[in-house]
Amino acid sequence: MSMTPSTAIPITVLTGFLGSGKTTLLKRLLDDPAMAGTAVIINEFGEVGIDDALVEKIDEDAVLLPSGCVCCAVRGDLVQALERMHAKSLWGDIPPMQRVVLETTGLADPTPIVHTLMTEESLYRIYRLDAVVTTVDAQLGLKQLDDHFEPAKQIAIADSATAALERRIRALNPAGRIRQAIKGDIAPSELIGVGAHEPVLTGVDLDRWLAVERYRPRAQSHDHDHAHGDHCGADCGHDHEHHHDHACADAHCDHPSHNHGHLHGISSFCLTFEKPLDGREMSNAMQLLAQLYGEKLLRVKGILNVQDQKKPFVVHGVQHIFYPPDTLERWPGEDRRSRLVFITKDLPEESIRKHFRPFIGEAEGAAA
């Protein structure tokens, strides 16, 4: 059975390195009455610490919590688990599902999960990917990022601490929303219902989703931060990161512009195109980009001004998989330039620029 886009069940992928607080956060979410009707898919029940005396066993793979949440242990294929949970919900074996939280293991790369949710035909429009939420340990996060690639990639593709750690996170993912949760204490609304992977379908703020201003050159960003400081109104609706960056010759300085290997080859940047684009040429360029560099494209998102089209096109992809382009009813603001944001692994900005030149000429861009 296929559901309409408005009724598709949102899925939040919860990821994070070993010991980063995923389980604590998940337990806190499950205790919140606002999360009733949530299906939680985890690797093993024991990792969440569910008390058998307080749950109702549905079958060998699923339990019903007092809060109205359902926990399902995945021991096989994720697609089968999601199909099984949907069937149980339709037949009334479990309460109607309002949302799904999918917890990965600490060493898992969330990208294959994202691919599955984007491409599996049997899940199409039954579920939709809402956001990737990554937990980072505020005390141990910097060392984990120094020593391991897994947490760096988990952060780089996320949608939702100490100053040095925040700067490192910003270098990996300038537009990701950073929220602090002490012992998992955070409102579910901060993490659920983000609508970050199908922005046209969910009606999110496209300017905030694209967040082009976060990909300004560091010198420009530095000047802007000092010029505006902390004087912005508290209710203006923007996430504020107040930087106090200074020149530093220390080899261990964590300034984002000093990439001394701790970013594991991950970079982020934005390309802008002043003139309307030829739709066919742009389509060819994007298809070839995915074929040539798919594994290195951790995430691509953008808004495009196509020749002879009044409505803007929105594109969004993870590695070699792209959602079908969609159109907005109107431009979100006065800026009519085409903008593409990239988060890449071992793929510098100049390589992307060179790729587009034969198709649509030179692009103006800003490196993060």
> Is 266-367 CATH 3.20.20.140?
no
On the question of a common fold for 5-206 and 266-367, the answer reads no
Helix or strand (DSSP H, E) at 22? helix 22-30
* Mean predicted confidence (pLDDT) in 247-271: 59
Residue 4 in this model has a pLDDT that exceeds 50: no
* Mean predicted confidence (pLDDT) in 247-266: 50
Q: Which of 26-30, 104-108, 203-207, 323-327 shows the lowest per-residue confidence on average (mean pLDDT)? A: 104-108
Q: What is the dihedral of CA 162, 156, 14, 293, to 10 degrees?
A: -170
Name residues whose C-beta falls within 8 Å of residue 84's C-beta, 6 or more positions apart in sequence.
61, 72
Q: Of 182, 178, 188, 139, whose CA–CA distance to 155 is shortest? A: 178
Higher pLDDT, 262 or 358: 358
d(CA 88, CA 83): 9
Confidence of residue 6 (pLDDT cuts 50, 70, 90): low
Summary mean pLDDT of the chain: 75
Per the CB < 8 A criterion, the answer to whether 100 and 41 are in contact is: yes
User: What local confidence, expressed as pLDDT, does residue 215 receive?
Assistant: 76
Token digits of residue 114: 């994202």
Residue 165 in this model has a pLDDT that exceeds 80: no
* Mean predicted confidence (pLDDT) in 323-340: 88
Domain boundaries, the chain: 5-206, 266-367
Name residues whose C-beta falls within 8 Å of residue 246's C-beta, 6 or more positions apart in sequence.
none
d(CA 15, CA 22): 7
Q: For tokens 């082009």, what's the residue?
A: 212
Q: Please write the tens of the pLDDT for every residue from 183-225.
A: 777 888 788 777 777 777 777 777 778 778 777 654 343 333 3
Residue 349 in this model has a pLDDT that exceeds 70: yes
Confidence of residue 66 (pLDDT cuts 50, 70, 90): low
Highest mean pLDDT pick, 79-83, 116-120, 251-255, 335-339: 335-339
Q: Which of 18-32, 76-90, 108-122, 251-265 shows the lowest per-residue confidence on average (mean pLDDT)? A: 251-265
Residue 307 in this model has a pLDDT that exceeds 70: yes
User: What local confidence, expressed as pLDDT, does residue 365 receive?
Assistant: 58
Higher pLDDT, 231 or 164: 164
Q: Which of 193-197, 228-232, 236-240, 348-352 shows the lowest per-residue confidence on average (mean pLDDT)? A: 228-232
| Structural fold of domain 5-206 | Rossmann fold (3.40.50)
Token digits of residue 243: 């930087």
d(CA 133, CA 138): 15
* Mean predicted confidence (pLDDT) in 11-32: 84
Q: Please write the tens of the pLDDT for every residue from 92-117.
A: 888 888 998 888 776 668 888 888 88
Residue 63 in this model has a pLDDT that exceeds 70: no
